[in-house]
Structure 1
Amino acid sequence: MSHPLAPSAKGWTTCSPRFLLSYHSLRAPRGFLVPKFPTYDGSNDPFDHIMHYRQFMTLDIGNDTLLCKVFPASLQGQVLSWFHRLPPNSVDNFRDLSEAFVGQYLCSARHKQNISTLQNIKMQDNESLREFVKRFGQVVLQVEAYNMDAVLQIFKRSICPDTPFFESLAKKPPTTMDDLFRRANKYSMLEDDVRAATQQVLVVRQTSRSGVERSAKLPDRPRPSDRRQEGPSCPERPPFTPLSISMRSFSL
C-alpha cells in the first residue's frame, strides 16, 4: 500500500481525503523530492516540529497546498494515525492543519519562560563560571522574548562582583548574547587554568609535607662512635687487693 503522499508512477495523484477536493489535482513540482524529515512521534514540542518542517520545505514555502500534502510524511506512529482520523475535507490550508496539529499535541510543548525567571538564577558556592554560564544560557534559550540590557543586568547581579569577568562586563558591556557567552568562555578558560595551577601547587605541597612527616618518623641511626661501644660486654674484674707482705718474703 503506497503512502498517501508518495508519488505514484503517474505523479502525485494520491491525496488524503482530509484535504479539500481542490488538493486532489495537485502534482508535485518538477524535480521535487520529499525531504527526509525527522519524523514527529508526539513526544517533542509541536511548535518546534512545525518550524523544522518549514525549514525543510523552504524552497516550496509559498506553495500552501504542497505544505499540506507533504506534512503527513513528517509524522509517525500514533501521530500519523491522528492525522488519518481527521474529518474529511477539514483541511483548507496549512494554517488550519498547523493549528489542529499543535492543539492536539500542545501538552508536549516546552514551557516558555519569561525574563523574570532569570532573576532566580544565582551563582552557587564552588560553582565554576563555565558551569554557571551553561546553566544561565539554557534558561535564556527558553525565554520567548527579552531585552539584551535587562538580561545583562540580571547576569551581572548573578555572578561574583570581585572577579575579572565582572570588571570586563562593567567596562565594556556586551551588545549581543553571542558576545556575552564568547567573553564568558574566554574567562572560563582563564579560570580553569588558574584552578589547575592551584591544584598542582597543592599537590606539590602535600607531597613535600608527606616526605617530611615520613622522615620524622624514622628511628635515629646510631653514630659510628656509638657502634664501637656496642657489642658483647666483658665480665667485670674484681678489684685488686693490696699486698700485705713484701716481695722479699716470697724468695725465702
Structure 2
Amino acid sequence: MRHAALALFALSLAACDAAPPPATPAALAPAATATPAQPPADAPPPEQAPDDLDAAADGDLVVRADAVWQGDVSACRTGQTDVDDCLVSTMRAGGASPDALAATTRLIALGNPGYVSAWREVDGVGHAEITYPFRANTNQGLWLVDAEGRAVDVDENVLPAGAARLRSELKPFLEAHPDAMPFPPARAVGSEAAPDGGLRLRFDVPMRTCHACEDVGFLELGYDFTAERRYEGRSVIALREAK
C-alpha cells in the first residue's frame, strides 16, 4: 500500500509540473472537401423549391389551394414605392405561403401584379380567383387549375389575331363588327360531361368596341379536361351576336 501511495504522489507532482496549455488553440486544419458525385445523365432535374421566386417567374408554376392570400395592399398605392416589390413585401409580412408568393411572382413577371385571393373546385377542376389590385378597370380574373397544378388564364389571348379569326364560322360576326374585341372577365356559363369521363367548362367573353361600350356579342369558349382532370386545351365554340 505504501508503494502505491508513493506512486500516486509522484504522478500528482508530474501533473503539476507539466507546462500549461497554450492560451490560443492551434487553428484546425480545413476539412477535406469531397468532390460531389455527378448525377446520372438520365436523372430527372431537381425539384423546384416552392419559395424559389426567380424559378417561379421563369419556370413551370404549380398552383394549389394554399396559394390563396388575403390582405391589405393599400400601402402599395401611394406611388412612393415600386408596386411589385411592395406587393411581395406586404404579402411576406402578412404571412403569405411560398405557393402564394410564387403565384404572385408569376403574375408580376407577366406584367399583371396580383395574387390568388380565393380557391374552389368545380367537378374536380380548381378555380383560382385572381385579384389585380392595381388595375384601373377589371380587378378580378380566374385561373383554371388541372390535377397536376397547371393553370390556364380564362382571360388571356382568347381570340388570337391569326388562325381563330380565319375560321369561316367567325367571319360573319367579325365582318359585322370589325372593331369588336374580347373584354374580360370571362363568365362561366356551364359544363358538359364527356362519355369517357372528361369535362368541358364553358365560358362567355363579352365582345365590345370599347371598355365602357355595350356588349355587341359573346365569344363562347370550351376548356377541356380528361377524366383524370388533366388540361387538354381550349376551343372556340361560337361567336354570336348579343341579344
Task: Specify if TM > 0.5.
Answer: no
Greater fraction of residues in helix: 1
Q: Between Structure 1 and Structure 2, whose CA radius of gyration is higher?
A: 1
TM-score (norm 2): 0.22
Greater fraction of residues in strand: 2
TM-score (norm 1): 0.21
